[in-house]
Structure formats: structure tokens, C-alpha cells
Structure 1
């Protein structure tokens, strides 16, 4: 919600609070009003928007093609220069690079945070490994492709030398090639990405709330109201403070999820082995969902 508010508050001169209220209303229509068509339409548009975003980023790269070599030289010098080497010897630069790299990577793809398994588990696939591979592909696309394209656009456009931060920095980068239209293109992309992300996060929270409080009829309603308040809060909080909140809670999620990953890793390896064995004899491995994986694992390893 913070990024959506930032993308519209600059060019459209809308107050972040007003944008937050609109977001709360749109999300509320889906989760309380049952207007699923909004989320359905948005979910269909997002893949095309992601493809269009990459195409637009490539246009920015082409229009600044003469600076591409200098950009990569800057990236390499910034990573392996004398100053960076000295900082690496002291350990501080490595620590900071690792910290922000992991934090921003987690924020972009949720890998290791434990938020997306409930969504992947709801998918109708013939074998769970298929969905696992799909999830891995999503991490690659969002972080390596989309985020790299955004970073290249920012570096090539010269927008990084100003005082802009957050989504407004990306808008300035795209406007270097598309003019004022660039602001609106990024704002539209951010709205679609952000809106569907909010709906997905609401779904994750509801699944976990129902699991933790199966006998509490009002637990989900309380969760929904609390989550909507957070959407409004996120739209008006300064972007620096928002990053601090995201880093803190992201680290906590990873901490708990890694423990679960270690304990469940043997079942993952078991499913992968089953997939690979079937793949040798057929093109479409099948998984027996009627049989509990824990019991199946134990029966195979007695």
C-alpha cells in the first residue's frame, strides 16, 4: 500500500491517506462484499502487465544503449573496487551487502518466508513437485528478471543521482524515455501488482487464522479488520519506516519458517525422489493425494 500511495501521490497529487482509503475499499469489497470479479480480473491482467513492464524496461535500456557498458563498469567497480575491498576486509561492507541483499530479495519474492505455501497448496496439480518448480520459477522471474530490469533502468536514466526514493525513483527512470507517460505506466503497474499482492496476503492470513482458531467464528472477521487497518497505516507511513517494519517482520517470518523447513525437508526430498523416478518412465508423474505423505514416507523407510 505504501508503494501504491507513493506512485500516485507524486504525479496525481493525491494525498496518501485518500489512496489508502481507496485501497481499503477495493480490498474490502472482495473480502467482505464477495465481489470476487475484481480479484479475478486483476489476476488475469497482472501476467500481461508483468510482460508489458519488462518490454517497457527493455525500451528504456535501448534508448540508453550507449551507457550500458558504463553501467556494468559502475556495477563491477562498486562491488570490487578498492574502497569496497577495504570494507570487505573489515567485514562491514560484506555484512551490509548481505543484510540488504537478503532483506530486499525476501521482500520481492517471499522465498523462505513461509507466506506462499498456502497458495501453492491450493493449486490443482498432478504432482506437488510440479508446483514447487513453478514456485521456484516465480522467484527467478520476479527477482532476477523484473528487479534487474528495474535496477538497470534506474542506473541508466541517472535518476539515482537525485533525492528520490522508492517507487518514485522507478517512475523517474521510466519518464526519462516515456516522458510523463512513464509515471502513469509505472503507477498502473504498481497498482495492479500491489492490489493483487494485498489480496494474496489477505488470503494467506485468513488460511492461517482459520488454522489457529478453528472454533472462533469471529477470528477471521477480526483479522480482516486488523489487516485493512494495516493497509491504511502502510499508505501514510514514511517509506524509510516502512522498510524497517518490512525487514523486522520479514526476518521473524524466516526465523520460524526455516525451523519448519528443516523438519519437513525429508518429506520434500521424498517427494522429489518419487517425481524423478516417475519421470524416467513417463512424462507426467502422478501423486496419490489420498495417502498421507508422512505415512507414505514411513512405510517406504521401514
Structure 2
């Protein structure tokens, strides 16, 4: 029965993540990159300035600061995708999968900018004075496609409950805790369920408060550990990058515990895991962006695209290089065990597995919080505020059960619902592409005029 279920899920995964969705994902990113003049490259310094600017002027309507909104979005993206997902991608597609993760992230930054711009542009104030926004709102209000809006909301709830939001995160925490701390799955499930329940009951302000403290601290710790590994193997980095690039276009031959991978498998696993990690085009981050205190949809779009840069270009790259430099990618381990093995070799310390475990636990925990919020937004959109409390109880129950499921089934299920969620959002982005372009042009024209006036007045 398990083998039959696995075969069905594998077939569904291949269907969902076939060429049409990959073309739609990367194609939309390429379109926005070209139409907006490579905004993800040339405006990245400005985006970083906005991220750390406390006062940008204006009325700044919203629930939380732009930084807190980004941390909420990052709490949902920086998680098992950066630690387990990268390992899974390389295990399936070889080192070349990391190259395709980079490509997905580069163009994904433009997609993230577009979808978060639209989220703030079309967001609405609810009866309890909070803000609701995201693809379901801009699909209905902007694109005039209520059926697509409801479809997106439904699939988002599926992702929150059965995809990124619960099972992969809980399972990864359970596996890592078992490997390094010898904690049984039941103990992990109980402790995690209590913690998730305590935070999620406070809503977006409670979630963003926790995320704003945990995400930056854990990111610095994890990136620092990866940097030490890269320094220890610095002489091998050019050879590793050559292997990544060549494998991306030629595939990878079988070696050691690695069974070999074609170029197509490298592309599929790299892009799928890249989207799983940074969620560009998925439509999740816009729901957090819609809560930001800002009066400029363009500024929030710029701040939001930084998330993809940090998530994939920085963190996933460092994890992937650590796996390749230490050689564990061609061994028999997989998932969290592979990353733990890389840190053990790379850091040459008994504390290395604990670094992975602590990073994984906190990253996965904040991901659960972020996706609980996304699910709430869609539940509220479909059925109103009264449905949020029953949804929270159901979500908390799923968190408890996630520690007892098998890894292969979990990742397949997560991939499938991720893909289904992305489709209506990407269609919405294409339909509203002119809104994104017009808002961007208007913003930068006004900014140039303002800077010119300031320059003249100072003379």
C-alpha cells in the first residue's frame, strides 16, 4: 500500500512539476526581470537601504513594520528548504541542481518584487482593523478573477496544512533531534505542539515579534558556521563551482552512494527545491507583505525581494557548497543527516551536529509560524474571521502528527501542493503585469524628481 501511494505521488509530482510549470515559473521571472530593467540587480542596494530605514515618510498604514513583515516572510522561507531541501535537491539531481536553484532565485527576485508590490497595492482593511492581502485579493480585485482567487486560497490552505507549513518542518525537527539529542519523536511532537500553540494564538503581531528576533539571530549563527566550512575548504571552492556548473548542463554520473542524474532531473529538482525554499512565485510572501506599515507598494516590493536573495543566493548556496566541498553529497546519507555529516566533517568539532540541529529546529519552528499565518489569511478570505479559531486547532493537530510520517512521502506531497498553489498566482501576475510596470515607472520617476529638487535646493 505504501509503495502504491508513493508511486501515485511520484507520478503526480512529475505531472505538476513538468515543463509547463517550470516554464511558467522561470518565464514570469525572466519577463519581469527584462520589463523592469533587472530591478533585482540594479535596485538591490536601494532595497537594502529601505529594509533598514526606520522612517521612510508617509502615513504608513499597516499592522507591522516592513522589517517585521520581511522577517515573517523569511520565517516561512528560511527553514528545512535551506538545510534539508538543498540536500534533497543535490541527492536527486546532483551538484548541478544547485546551479538551477541559483537561476530560480535570480529571476525569482523579480517575481517576488512583483507579487509583493501587488499585495500592498490591492490590500484591504478588515473588520478588526487588520490588513488582508495577497494573491487571493489581487486576483479578485485587480485581475477580476474570483474563481482563481478562491482556487489559490484553497491550495494555500493545503500547503499550510499538508505541505511546507507542517509535515516537512516537524519531520525535520524530529529527525535532527533524534540524531543529536536522542529525543524520541513523541517528546518532540508534544514540545513543538505546545510552542506553536502558544505563539500562533497571538496572530500576526505575535508571530512577527518572534520572527524578528529568532530569524536574524539564527541566520547569523548558521551562515557563520557555513562560512567556517568554506574557509576550511577554500582551495577546493573553484573545483566545486566548476562541478556545479558542468553538472547543470551535462548531468551527473553515478558515484559512491549517488545513483546518477540527468540534466532534466537536475533542472527539475533544483527549481522545485529552490521554489520550496524561497517561495518566489508561490504567492506566500505577499500575504506577509500586505501587513507591512508602508504607503508605497514599490518600496515594500523592493524590501520583499531581499528575502529571496538572503534565502537562496546566500543561505542555500552556503549549504550546497558545504555538502559538495565535504563530499557527503555522494555518500549514502540524505536529508538532515547529510547536512549534519557535512558540518561534522567541515567544522571538525563534536558540536557541529548541534549547530545543524539548533539551526534546523529554530528555522523550521519559525516556518511553521509563518505558514500558520498564511493559512489563516486564506481561511479568513474564504470563510471569515470566525473560521480562524477552528483552523488553528486543526493546524496544531497536524503539527503533532508530522513527527511520525515518512520523509519521501512528505517531500512529494509538499512539492505537489506547492506547484498547485503557484499556478493561479502566476496567472494573476501575468494578468496584472502592466500594473507592476506602471507603478514601478511612476515610483522611480517621482523619486528622481524628488532627488533632483533636493539637489537643487541644497545648492
TM-score of the superposed pair, with normalisation by structure 2: 0.56
Matched, 1:110 2:272: no
Match among 212, 222, 227 for residue 43 of structure 1:
212
SS of 1:27 mapped into structure 2 = helix
Q: Deviations over 1:71-96 (max 9, x none)?
A: 23332442344878xxxxxxx93432
Residue 175 of structure 1 corresponds to which residue in structure 2? 344
Residue 381 of structure 2 corresponds to which residue in structure 1? 211
Residue 240 of structure 1 corresponds to which residue in structure 2? 408
RMSD: 2.5
Between the aligned partners of 1:36 and 1:273, the Cα distance in structure 2 is 33
Residue 423 of structure 2 corresponds to which residue in structure 1? 255
Higher Cα Rg: structure 1 or 2? 1
- For the Cα contact (< 8 Å) 2:248–2:263, is it kept in 1? no
Between the aligned partners of 1:35 and 1:116, the Cα distance in structure 2 is 13
Residue 228 of structure 1 corresponds to which residue in structure 2? 396
Alpha-carbon deviation of 1:249?
0.4
Matched, 1:192 2:389: no
Between the aligned partners of 1:38 and 1:146, the Cα distance in structure 2 is 22
Distance 1:38 1:110, change over 3 A: closer
Unaligned regions of 5+ residues in structure 1, if any?
85-91, 284-302
Aligned length: 275
Distance 1:82 1:268, change over 3 A: closer
Residue 79 of structure 1 corresponds to which residue in structure 2? 248
Between the aligned partners of 2:252 and 2:391, the Cα distance in structure 1 is 48
More deviation, 63-72/251-260? 63-72
Distance 1:266 1:36, change over 3 A: closer
Between the aligned partners of 1:281 and 1:28, the Cα distance in structure 2 is 49
Unaligned regions of 5+ residues in structure 2, if any?
1-169, 254-260, 452-459
TM-score of the superposed pair, with normalisation by structure 1: 0.83
Query: 1:25-44 to 2 correspondence within 5 Å?
Result: 25-32=194-201, 40-44=209-213
More deviation, 65-74/246-255? 65-74
Between the aligned partners of 2:252 and 2:329, the Cα distance in structure 1 is 20
